[in-house]
Copies of this chain bind each other. A is one copy, B any other.
Amino acid sequence: MNFKEEQKKRIQKVEEILECYLPKEQGYQKTVMEAMNYSVRAGGKRLRPILMLETYRLFGGEGNEIEPFMAAMEMIHTYSLVHDDLPAMDNDSYRRGKKTTHIVYGHAMGILAGDALLNYAFQITGAAYHMLKEREVTGEIFLRQMEQILQAQGILAEKAGIYGMLGGQVVDVEATEKQSKLTEEQLQFIYRLKTGALIEGAMMIGAVMAGASKEEVAIVEQIAGKVGVAFQIQDDILDLISTAEVLGKPILSDEKNHKVTYVSLKGMVYSKEQVEQLSKEAIYLLEDLEEKQNRNNPFLRELLLWLIDREK
């Protein structure tokens, strides 16, 4: 398997799905739709929807009811970036080489476009229900699939909210504002929530929508949690050892912003060991899961390894 090729294909597929779910730019309120679409189209690795789709496939999922959830997850990720970039938060004017949303559309519209993306994410998950209705699914299957949708919506809200990503942002913002010293426990809390929670949510929704059991979903959550934290520690490492050319963004930004990172707290050697350890544990759990249900997804395995070992 040519991983890079396969990854590219997935990114393209996600972007096609996103286009289907983005709002039409029309009506008196057109500007907010433009701002939403500008933000979502700004690019990125599309990690969360890809992870969702690949986990869905791992559990034998074949339908397209997963697609509104893939789009919703990416919109939630995007809203969090739009609000993070606001002057009252990180005050960033550029992201991925493009002007941030509030720079292009103004500060008020930046707030509203973020709100709109979060709200729209929940709105489009309803499409999964309408797909069932249109296909005239009935009886037990209809019942089971409606429950899957309700459960997936619940996971989305939980992992995006105060017990998930947003909770991590809050602790991060407060620590940065107060320039407070963090303990390893607090830093892991931030990583687990701010970065890990949406990755957990993405993979869990993939599993739930494919009909995975409660136990399987719990293991998927564990895998994703480990991947999320390792991903973030690797980010800290790359900010120190990579070059701006490879990363596509300025390096040493954590140091400049006086940000506590895993590396500044625990040192480079320990941080690299942590990434290695978490990565091993995640792959071990995944292989065990694959074995038990006699089904595997080599691309997902490669993707998890890449996420953790990536050089950018």
Binding site for B on A (CB under 8 A): 23, 27-29, 31-33, 36, 79, 83, 86-89, 106-112, 114-116, 118-120, 122-123, 126, 129, 142-143, 146-147, 149-150, 153-154, 157-158, 160-162, 166-171, 173-174, 177, 186, 189, 193
Candidates B122, B142, B167; contact of A29 at CB < 8 Å: B167
3 closest A-B pairs by beta carbon, nearest first, are A123-B157, A29-B167, A88-B107
The reply to whether A108 and B89 form a contact with Cβ atoms under 8 Å apart is yes
Candidates B83, B109, B154; contact of A170 at CB < 8 Å: B109
Chain B: CB-nearest residue to A161 = B119
Q: From DSSP, what is the main secondary structure of chain A's interface residues?
A: helix
A-B contact list, 28 entries, CB within 8 Å = A28-B167, A28-B170, A28-B186, A29-B166, A29-B170, A29-B171, A29-B193, A31-B170, A32-B170, A79-B115, A83-B112, A86-B111, A87-B88, A88-B111, A89-B111, A109-B170, A111-B111, A112-B166, A112-B173, A114-B115, A115-B118, A116-B162, A116-B170, A119-B160, A119-B162, A123-B154, A129-B154, A142-B143
Chain B: CB-nearest residue to A107 = B88
Given A153-B153, A167-B27, the answer on whether A115 and B115 have CB atoms closer than 8 Å is: yes
Chain B: CB-nearest residue to A86 = B111
The reply to whether A174 and B31 form a contact with Cβ atoms under 8 Å apart is yes
The reply to whether A106 and B161 form a contact with Cβ atoms under 8 Å apart is no
Give the docked Cα–Cα distance between A28 and B109 (Å).
30
